[in-house]
Amino acid sequence: MSVALGSTCGYRNAMLPALVGTVLFLVVVAATIGRPRGIPEWASALAGAAVALALGLVGVEEAVRAVAADWNVLAFFVGMTGLAAVAERSGFFGRAAELAERLAAGSGRRLLLAVLGLGVVISAFLSNDATALILTPVVYGLVVSLGIDALPYVLACTFIADAASLILPVSNPVNLLVLDGLGLSLPRYMLAIEPAALAAAGLTAAALALLFRRGVPARIASTTALRRAETPVARTPRVWAGLAVVALAFVAGGLLGAPLGIVACAGFAFLLALEASALGRLHRRPLDGVSWPILGYVGGMVVLVAVLERLGVVERVVGSVLGWAGESPALAAISSSVLAAAGSNLVNNVPMTLIMVSGIEGAHLSGPVREAAAYGTIIGADLGPNLTTVGSLATVLWLLILRERGLEVRPATYLRIGLLVTPPVLVVSTLLMVAMLR
Amino acid sequence: MAEQALALVAVAGAETEQFWERVRLLLPPGIRVELYHVVDEAPAWELGMQFARRPGHPRPPGLDARVREAETRGSDAILAGARTAIGRSATEALGRGRPEREIVSRAANVGASLVVVGARPGEDRTAPEPHSLGHVSRFVVDHAPCPVLLVRL
- Its ipTM equals 0.86
Average pLDDT for A216-227:
60
Average pLDDT for B32-42:
93
State the nearest Cα–Cα gap between A255 and chain B, in angstroms: 28
C-beta separation of A425 from A197 below 8 A: no
Give the pLDDT band (50/70/90) at residue A14: low
Q: Cβ of A226 and B98 within 8 Å? A: no
Predicted pLDDT at A229: 45
Q: Which residues have a Cβ under 8 Å from the Cβ of B108 and sit 6 or more positions away?
A: B145
Q: Cβ of B74 and A147 within 8 Å? A: yes
Of B56, B63, B85, the CB nearest to A297: B56
Residue A292 lies in a domain: no
Give the separation between CA B45 and CA B71, rounded to whole angstroms. Answer: 13
Q: SS3 of A436, please?
A: helix
Residue B35 lies in a domain: yes
Q: Cβ of A144 and B70 within 8 Å? A: yes
Q: Sort out which chain B residues have CB atoms less than 8 A from A408's CB and list them.
A: 41, 97-98
Give residue-wise pLDDT tens across range A266-303. Answer: 999 999 999 999 888 888 888 988 999 999 999 999 99
Residue A326 lies in a domain: yes
Q: Sort out which chain A residues have CB atoms less than 8 A from B61's CB and list them.
A: none
Predicted pLDDT at A225: 44
Residue B1 lies in a domain: no
Percent of chain B's residues with pLDDT above 90: 48
- For chain A, the average pLDDT equals 87
Residue A90 lies in a domain: yes
C-beta separation of A345 from A384 below 8 A: yes
State the nearest Cα–Cα gap between A367 and chain B, in angstroms: 33
Average pLDDT for A18-31:
91
State the nearest Cα–Cα gap between A35 and chain B, in angstroms: 9
Assess whether pLDDT exceeds 60 at residue A45: yes
Shared-domain flag, residues A317 and A258: no
Q: Cβ of A145 and B50 within 8 Å? A: no
Q: Cβ of A141 and B70 within 8 Å? A: yes
Domain that holds residue A316: 312-438
For A394, nearest residue in chain B (alpha carbons) = B53
Minimum mean pLDDT range among A183-192, A348-357, A419-428, B39-48: B39-48
Predicted pLDDT at A215: 79
Minimum mean pLDDT range among A126-135, A217-226, A231-240, B43-52: A217-226
Give the pLDDT band (50/70/90) at residue B46: confident
Of A41, A142, A389, the CB nearest to B56: A41
Average pLDDT for A420-424:
92
Q: Sort out which chain B residues have CB atoms less than 8 A from A227's CB and list them.
A: 73, 77
Write the DSSP assignment of A128-172 as a string of letters: HHHIIIIIHHHHHHHHHHTTS--HHHHHHHHHHHHHTTTSSGGG-
State the nearest Cα–Cα gap between A205 and chain B, in angstroms: 18
Of A149 and A246, which is predicted with more confidence?
A: A246
Q: What is the CATH number of the domain that holds B33?
A: 3.40.50.620
Three-state secondary structure readout of A329-396: HHHHHHHHHHHHHHHHHHHCHHHHHHHHHHHHHHCCCCHHHHHHHHHHHHHHHHHHHHCCCCCCHHHH
Assess whether pLDDT exceeds 80 at residue A403: no
State the nearest Cα–Cα gap between A52 and chain B, in angstroms: 20
Residue B143 lies in a domain: yes
Give the pLDDT band (50/70/90) at residue A389: low
Give residue-wise pLDDT tens across range A222-268. Answer: 544 445 445 556 678 899 999 999 999 999 998 898 999 999 999 99
Q: How many CA atoms lie within 13 A of A135 on its CB side?
A: 31
Q: Cβ of B77 and A148 within 8 Å? A: no
Assess whether pLDDT exceeds 70 at residue B128: no
Which of A343, A306, A277 shows the shortest CA–CA distance to A24? A306
The arrangement of strands across the sheet holding B114-119 comes to: B91-97, B32-40, B6-10, B114-119, B148-152
Residue B39 lies in a domain: yes
Residue B89 lies in a domain: yes
Which of A265, A280, A295 is at the close of a domain?
A280
Residue A26 lies in a domain: no
For B11, nearest residue in chain A (alpha carbons) = A147
Percent of chain A's residues with pLDDT above 90: 59
Predicted pLDDT at B42: 84
Interface test with A, best of B20, B21, B23, B46 (most A CBs within 10 A): B46
Shared-domain flag, residues A271 and A393: no
Shared-domain flag, residues A256 and A404: no
Assess whether pLDDT exceeds 80 at residue A30: yes
Predicted pLDDT at B66: 86
Write the burial class of residue A210 (CB in 10 Å: 0-12 exposed, 13-18 middle, 19+ buried): exposed
Give the separation between CA B124 and CA A81, rounded to whole angstroms. Answer: 46
Number of domain units in chain A? 2
Domain that holds residue B106: 6-152
Question: Partners of B40 in the beta sheet?
Answer: B97
Predicted pLDDT at B121: 67
Shared-domain flag, residues A152 and A258: yes
State the nearest Cα–Cα gap between B127 and chain A, in angstroms: 16
Of A140, A297, A414, the CB nearest to B67: A140
Of A17 and A8, which is predicted with more confidence?
A: A17
- Ramachandran class of A248: left when φ > 0, alpha when ψ lies in -120 to 50, beta otherwise: alpha
Give the separation between CA A157 and CA A153, rounded to whole angstroms. Answer: 6
Shared-domain flag, residues A275 and A316: no
Which of A380, A129, A75, A383 shows the shortest CA–CA distance to A258? A75
Residue A160 lies in a domain: yes
Give the pLDDT band (50/70/90) at residue B124: low
Shared-domain flag, residues A116 and A199: yes
Residue A42 lies in a domain: no
Number of domain units in chain B? 1
Shared-domain flag, residues A367 and A316: yes
Residue A30 lies in a domain: no
Of B17, B53, B56, the CB nearest to A385: B53
DSSP code, position A292 = T
Which of A427, A394, A425, A381 shows the shortest CA–CA distance to A211? A425
Write the DSSP assignment of chain B as a string of letters: -PPPPEEEEE--S---HHHHHHHHHHS-TT-EEEEEEEEESHHHHHHHHHHHTSTT-PPPTTHHHHHHHHHHHHHHHHHHHHHHHH-S--EEEEEEE-HHHHHHHHHHHTT-SEEEEEE---TTSSS--TT-S-HHHHHHHHH-SS-EEEEE-
Q: Cβ of A144 and B69 within 8 Å? A: no
Predicted pLDDT at B17: 86
Of A357 and B132, which is predicted with more confidence?
A: A357
Residue A62 lies in a domain: no
Of A426 and B64, which is predicted with more confidence?
A: A426
Shared-domain flag, residues A112 and A155: yes
Average pLDDT for A27-55:
90
Q: SS3 of A175, please?
A: helix
CA distances to A3, A4, A8, A22, A309 from A15, rounded to whole Å, are: 16, 14, 12, 11, 14
> Number of A:B CB contacts under 8 A?
148
Shared-domain flag, residues A195 and A99: yes
Assess whether pLDDT exceeds 50 at residue A8: no
Predicted pLDDT at A397: 62
